[in-house]
Amino acid sequence: MSAPEETAPARNHALAEALAWISKFAHAWKAIEPAPHSLSIDGFIIWGPVLYEKHGKEDPVALAAQLYGKSGDYFKYLYPGRTQDAGEALPF
């Protein structure tokens, strides 16, 4: 009896592209953040797909600079334990 052939699953290029874009955005946001210890990169797992769907054709680094401080409802995921100031309540 021969061993079954091992085949690697086909790479999902669309998913890989989205994850790369989200990663660039998250790291650019973190680089801007004056208190990076208060930022939860895990928050981008929730916010990132929403951003990618709406802004995926834009440069993620430039978009992070443009949107910095305007995380809206996603603030609680990005900054767990911090309270949202009035100026940070702007929608993305």
Q: What is the pLDDT of residues 43-72, one digit of tens each?
A: 999 999 999 999 999 999 999 999 999 999
Give every CB contact of residue 43 below 8 A, 6+ residues apart in sequence: 74, 77, 78, 79, 80
Tell me what percent of the residues of the chain surpass a pLDDT of 70. 85
pTM (predicted TM-score) = 0.78
Q: Is 50 exceeded by the pLDDT of residue 38? A: yes
Sequence-separated contacts (24+) of 33-42 with Cβ below 8 Å = 33/68, 38/79, 38/81, 38/82, 39/78, 39/79, 40/77, 40/78, 40/79, 40/80, 42/77
Q: Is 70 exceeded by the pLDDT of residue 4? A: no
